[in-house]
Amino acid sequence: MGIFTEIFSWWGGNTWGTRFFTWRKGRQVGQDEFGNTYYVQASGVGPLGVPARWVTYRNLSEPSQVPPEWHGWLHHTVDARPTDELYESKPWQQRHQMNMTGTADAYRPAGSIAGGGARARSSADYKPWKPQS
């Protein structure tokens, strides 16, 4: 089913169009711990005046799978690839957790319909207008 999904589904990861474009225009520059592969435009410049950068995902096309060190490189925040330098994550950075929206593990704040329960009252709560009689 691999080639079938590659031809007909864009959400499943790499499509044949992406594979062809990457083969023609890209040069592989690295890979992360999730198996995602990173590319840079082999020649010329992209629409921003610098060589374009992109990622092909190993499995599901889920942008939150891009680690912070590669995210900075993809968005031209840093010029050095994480493979070229010793990257140390910041203490506040967390490991990747897939987007859980639509699953039982999704975030449900207090007071939301799905979260059950009621939220605490606030001074900013709505107070209906009552005419004086």
Residue 30, domain member (yes or no): yes
Residue 65 to residue 34: CA distance in whole angstroms: 8
pLDDT score, position 9:
63
pLDDT of residue 89: 74
28 belongs to a structural domain: yes
* Number of structural domains the chain divides into: 1
Residue with the two structure tokens 């004086």: 132
- The per-residue pLDDT for range 76-122, each reduced to its tens digit, is 988 888 888 777 777 887 777 778 888 888 888 877 777 676 777 77
CA dihedral 101, 14, 84, 64 (to 10 degrees): -10
Q: Is 104 contained in some domain?
A: no
Measured distance CA(110)–CA(107) in Å, rounded: 10
For residue range 19-77, list pLDDT tens digits in order.
Answer: 888 889 999 999 998 889 999 998 888 777 889 999 988 877 778 888 888 988 899 98
Range of the domain at 35: 2-74
DSSP 14-75: --HHHHHHHHHHEEEEEE-TT--EEEEESSS--TTSS--EEEE-SSS--GGGS-HHHHHHHT
CA 64 to mean position of chain CA atoms = 3
Residue 118: inside a domain, yes or no? no
Q: Is pTM, for the whole model, over 0.85? A: no
